[in-house]
Amino acid sequence: MKQVLIIGAGRSSIFLIQYLLQWAEQSKAQIHVADMDISLAEKRIQQHPFGTAHKLNALNPDERTPLMKNMDLVVSMLPAHLHFDIVNHAIDLKIPVITPSYLSKEIDALHQKAEKNGVLVLNELGVDPGIDHMSAMAFLDEKRSQGAEFKGFESFTGGLIAPESDNNPWNYKFTWNPRNVVIAGQGGAVKFIQEGKYKYIPYHKLFRRTEIIDIPDYGKYEGYANRDSLKYRETYGLENIDTIYRGTLRKKGFCRAWDMFVQLGATDDSYVLEGSENMSYREFINSFLAYNLTDSVELKLKYYLNLRQDDDDLWEKLESLDIFSEEKKIGIANATPAMALQKILEDAWSLEPDDKDMIIMWHKFTYELKGRVFETTSSMVCIGENQQKTAMAKTVGLPLGIAARLILEGEFKLTGVGLPIHKEVYTPILKELAELGIRFKEEEREL
């Protein structure tokens, strides 16, 4: 009987666990779900006969060794910075391990050790990273086999609110980790290639340098650049490409409004606000503005942001967050500005129980084939079911679940540390995702 260990029972694990439990019914496997909070693991298992819940401090090797040593596969659903110990331990035990997170330098350095032990370590098996890699590589490899030479590649993904649940002026709600939204674009140079020229965007200009993208049946969205698009040239075999650009999607109008917080300094995570625990929302905003004995916070903010009389939509967005409230408190001791802003936004942008989220992924390929130049756009839209069974959890969990099944059934012959960019990996995963409703629509035109 195959034994699978899933470490971490958070929201992103819902569809992964559901998928593997259904598979276990036919294969007679046992699915072990471990979490610091055993009640959460039990909730995910729901007394399934092929599921077992465990209380586990995953960072304690004395606790995890007895559980891991008898497994045929480990799936780490922990935060990205906690994967290394799990992966390294699994390699020592000669157990394959998969994660949805970006491949870190530390885990990548384990490649030779994993190969020596005959172990496969697959990373970036979620949605972004994950489905983005697999769908892009499928198209790139297919056209290359026909003799195509690629000139440009752009790719955008957005975790958004579905149209039927879009009921605030920002056209946005948190569907994933709010902190990642607040500090997006910080901590490194934003760089890409456009028409053969290297381009760089400083953080304070990031949300004013956007690209408008029309998603079939869903309207116009805007994309801002991700931190480093250049590292994917080698991954995708596009070292000589003229344009490569990866970014994040938001509903049209969001980025200009978000830029107000950037210019204000409210997204800064590098210092602590004095007295933040008792600071009102209004005091938080006022702390970034010049002292004036007579002018109101509202007036000073309008002047600081250079808002015109016809910027009513921007002002409506700000007011919808209650940022001028004297009653509402940050309530967090030693909060950074980014932490305080996150608290304000969580009050306004949290999903309601019946809200549905939405994942949009969009690629644009430009290539020359037999003396003619073509442009193909490929888009995928996935709508969630409710606050718990989100599109985000689905598009993260299902690729992991399918990959886990394929590994357990012996379908992958690869060893070492890698990404799902190999045909033997992405082909069956994309095929099954399409059968489960996660599929891409392509539109091609000749330039």
Question: pLDDT tier at 311 (50, 70, 90 boundaries)?
Answer: confident
- What is residue 188's predicted lDDT score, i.e. its pLDDT? 75
DSSP state of 153: E
The parent domain of residue 29 ranges over 3-123
Q: What length does the chain have?
A: 447
Q: Is 447 among the domain residues?
A: no
In sequence order, the β-bridge partners of residue 214 are 220
Q: Are residues 230 and 367 in the same domain?
A: yes
The pLDDT value given to residue 229: 87
Spatial neighbors of 156 by CB under 8 A, at least 6 apart, are 211, 213, 221, 223, 246, 247, 248, 249, 360, 361, 362
Neighbour tally for 250: CB within 10 Å: 25
* pLDDT at position 386: 93
- Per-residue pLDDT tens over the stretch 274-309: 999 999 999 999 999 999 889 999 999 999 999 987
Are 177 and 190 contained in the same domain?
yes
399 close to 127: Cβ distance less than 8 angstroms: yes
Q: Domain for residue 423, yes or no?
A: no
pLDDT tens track for 406-440: 999 999 999 999 999 999 999 999 999 999 999 99
Q: Are residues 361 and 345 in the same domain?
A: no
Closest Cα to residue 6, out of 269, 270, 18?
18
Same domain, 155 and 8: no
Same-domain status, 90 and 217: no
Are 308 and 380 found together in one domain? no
Between the CA of residue 298 and those of 129, 200, 295, 314, 315, what are the distances in Å? 40, 34, 8, 13, 10
Is the pLDDT at 330 greater than 80? The verdict is yes
CATH number for position 149: 3.30.360.10
Q: What is the CATH number of the domain that holds 88?
A: 3.40.50.720
CB atoms within 10 A of CB 30: 18
Q: Is residue 403 part of a domain?
A: no
Q: β-pairing, 243-251 with 149-161?
A: parallel
119 lies in the same domain as 92: yes
DSSP summary character for residue 71: -
Q: Is residue 400 part of a domain?
A: no
Please report, for residues 5, 77, 99, 123, the alpha-carbon distance to residue 67 in angstroms, rounded to integers and kept in the order given. 8, 16, 18, 22
Q: Which of 106, 123, 140 corresponds to the end of one domain?
A: 123
Q: Is residue 30 part of a domain?
A: yes
Do 24 and 84 lie in one domain? The reply is: yes
- At residue 350, the pLDDT reads 95
Q: Does one domain contain both 246 and 378?
A: yes
Residue 259: inside a domain:
no
- The structure's pTM equals 0.94
Last residue of a domain, one of 73, 104, 123: 123
Q: Judge if 18 and 116 occupy the same domain.
A: yes
Do residue 241 and residue 373 come from a single domain?
yes
Question: Given 94, 123, 152, which residue is the final one in a domain?
Answer: 123
Task: Please report, for the chain, how many H helices and E strands are present, in that order.
Answer: 16, 16
187 has a pLDDT exceeding 80 = no
User: In Å, how far are 132, 149, 150, 309, 347 from 146, measured between CA atoms?
Assistant: 22, 9, 12, 56, 52
The structural domain count of the chain equals: 3
What are 194-246's pLDDT values in tens digits? 999 999 999 999 999 999 999 999 999 999 999 888 988 999 999 999 999 99
Do 220 and 167 fall within a single domain? yes
